[in-house]
Structure 1
Amino acid sequence: MASPGKKSFLLRIDPAIWAEIERLAAQELRSSNAQVEYLLRQALVQRGRSLPADNADNAGEDPSASE
């Protein structure tokens, strides 16, 4: 079940990519879902897209902190 205020959607993804996301999530102590959201936020920041201040840290960490 989706968290309140979160949009849920179906994602079709290559099994090899998903396996790597799961490994990375385990290493960084996140759920796979949180890892996907974290990576998407990182990608948006790297492309110069601003995120609303109240949603910038929902994935547990500041995306720019790992750069």
Structure 2
Amino acid sequence: MGAPPKKAFPLRLDPALHAAIERTAASDLRSVNAQVECLLREALARRGVKLADPVRPKRGRPLKQGDQE
């Protein structure tokens, strides 16, 4: 049981815009994809669009059989 699948689609960007996103992603220790998603969420929030918090996959080792969460 993990996070729901993400919607994939091609996105064409101006090379200068992509380079700027790459720089900000690196400074925030994110991938370009995660940075674009973060920027889109921030822009929508500024416009008053409410979104549910993203479902993040659990990290770490899976529990062994019989262990409690």
TM-score by length of 2: 0.71
Cross-structure match for 2:25 = 25
Tell me how far apart the structure 1 counterparts of residues 4 and 33 of structure 2 sit (CA, whole Å).
Answer: 15
Q: Higher relative CO (CA 8 A, sep ≥ 6), structure 1 or 2?
A: 2
What stretches of structure 1 move > 4 A for 4+ residues in a row?
A: none
- SS state of the match for residue 45, structure 1? helix
2:37 counterpart of 1:37: yes
Q: Where do 5+ consecutive residues of structure 1 fail to align?
A: 59-67
The total of aligned residue pairs comes to 54
Instruction: Please report how far the alpha carbon of residue 33 of structure 1 lies from its aligned counterpart in structure 2 after TM superposition.
Output: 0.4
- SS state of the match for residue 12, structure 1? coil
Q: Where do 5+ consecutive residues of structure 2 fail to align?
A: 57-69
| RMSD over equivalenced CA pairs, Å | 1.8
Tell me how far apart the structure 1 counterparts of residues 32 and 4 of structure 2 sit (CA, whole Å).
Answer: 18
Shift in alpha-carbon separation, 1:4–1:52, aligned structure 2, 3 A: closer
Tell me how far apart the structure 1 counterparts of residues 5 and 25 of structure 2 sit (CA, whole Å).
Answer: 22
Which residue type is aligned with residue 8 of structure 1?
A
Instruction: Please report how far the alpha carbon of residue 5 of structure 1 lies from its aligned counterpart in structure 2 after TM superposition.
Output: 1.4
- Over alpha carbons, which structure has the higher Rg? 2
Higher helix share: 1
